[in-house]
Amino acid sequence: MLINKIYRSILDRNAFWNYYNANLKAPNIEDIEDCYRFITDFIKYSQKSQTVLFKDIAFLKKNRPERLKHIVSAFFLGIWLFRHRTKFIYHSIIRELEILNCFKNRNNDDIESQFTYVWFMATLFHDLGYKPEILQKREPIPSHVIPEYDKLGFPYRSVPDFYKNIYPKYYTYREEKEHGIFAGLTFDRDITEIRRFQENTSSELDWREELEELYHYVAWIITSHNIWMIRGDSSDVEMYKKNNLNDLILSSQKDKQGQYLEYKFRYDDYPLFSLFCIIDTIEPLKLDFWPFKVDIRLEEGKMIIKSNNREYLDRVSGLKDWLCPVIREDDCATIYLDNIL
């Protein structure tokens, strides 16, 4: 389906994305002001606006305005893919959310709703941590804003274990200017504090202690999604080794068909994290050469993306360097979610 039709089809299904059943107007995803309004309104309705990340949305709008469109686009694109109910998207994510065991009810309708809850937090907050990265050394970041490395919660299951040891090293390697890690650490700290405060108020929203597991789950996805792996023949290998980032170096060995043999994990083991990383890659509105044609089609275990823009397809094909196999043709990139060609 053409991506513009995808947006229209999900924007019209208010019940699919309006988790709080609030008076939220569907946004014009092509309009920065409207995306800004949608993000701020959604977070306010969730009563999660007392965060460092929320307060920096205006800064992001001024300095990286295209990211606002990307955030909103990723939110709706993920919901559209989830609602297709394919084995490798819908059912694998339902299974993963069931393991968290944080739900009042055990039926699939409730868990579908919880996907929207998890997804809105992951997508709407994931790129709000740009301030340290943009400012770099122009001005110091206040000490109360910088989260502590050892305060990130450890969920039962969210991302591969090696990320839990690598993110402090990678943040040091990036001189504490990696927006994903900053956002994940900050989210985990602030949302947990908000929950503990709100639990003792008369708020009509659910603030049970069990939800902290979901917050840690989201925080780990945000923290890990922008930590880059490289292949053994990359020019950055020595720098990664110097900074003890060996777990992020993958073998460059290929099979007879020219496909890489090593991947750290399979989509089916960590479906929501994998889906997040795929959508963050294939979402086109953040690119400075948008608009162009994008068509997305799902088959069991595969995502087929066609486009008239070669540079975009090159970016999509980059998933093969660390996440899963991708077969590239002239106007098409086929993503193999199950790692089986």
Q: pLDDT tens digits, residue range 287-324?
A: 999 999 999 999 888 999 999 999 999 999 999 999 99
- The edge-to-edge listing of strands for the beta sheet with 332-336 is 294-299, 302-307, 332-336, 326-329
Average pLDDT over residues 262-291: 94
Position 151 scores a pLDDT of 60
Provide the residue type at 291 as one letter: P
Nearest to 29 by CA among 44, 53, 8: 8
Q: For residue 215, what are the contacts with CB-CB under 8 A and spacing of at least 6?
A: 121, 153, 187, 188, 191, 192, 195
Position 335 pLDDT exceeds 60: yes
Q: For residue 258, what are the contacts with CB-CB under 8 A and spacing of at least 6?
A: none
Asked if residue 170 lies in contact with residue 178, where contact means CB atoms within 8 angstroms, the answer is yes
Q: Which two tokens stand for residue 332?
A: 């098409």
Nearest to 53 by CA among 119, 102, 123, 3: 123
Split at pLDDT 50, 70, 90, the class of 218 is very high
Average pLDDT over residues 45-64: 94
Average pLDDT over residues 212-234: 93
User: Judging by beta carbons within 10 Å of its beta carbon (0-12, 13-18, 19+), is residue 272 exposed, middle or buried?
Assistant: buried
Q: pLDDT tens digits, residue range 60-73?
A: 999 999 999 999 99
- The partner residues of 304 in beta bridges, in order of sequence, read 297, 334
Position 330 scores a pLDDT of 92
Q: DSSP secondary structure string, 132-174? A: HHHHTTSSPPPTTTSPPGGG----SSSS-TTHHHHHHHHHHHT
Position 318 scores a pLDDT of 96
Average pLDDT over residues 96-111: 69
Position 228 pLDDT exceeds 90: yes
pTM of the predicted model as reported, rounded to 2 decimal places: 0.93
Split at pLDDT 50, 70, 90, the class of 154 is low
Position 33 scores a pLDDT of 97
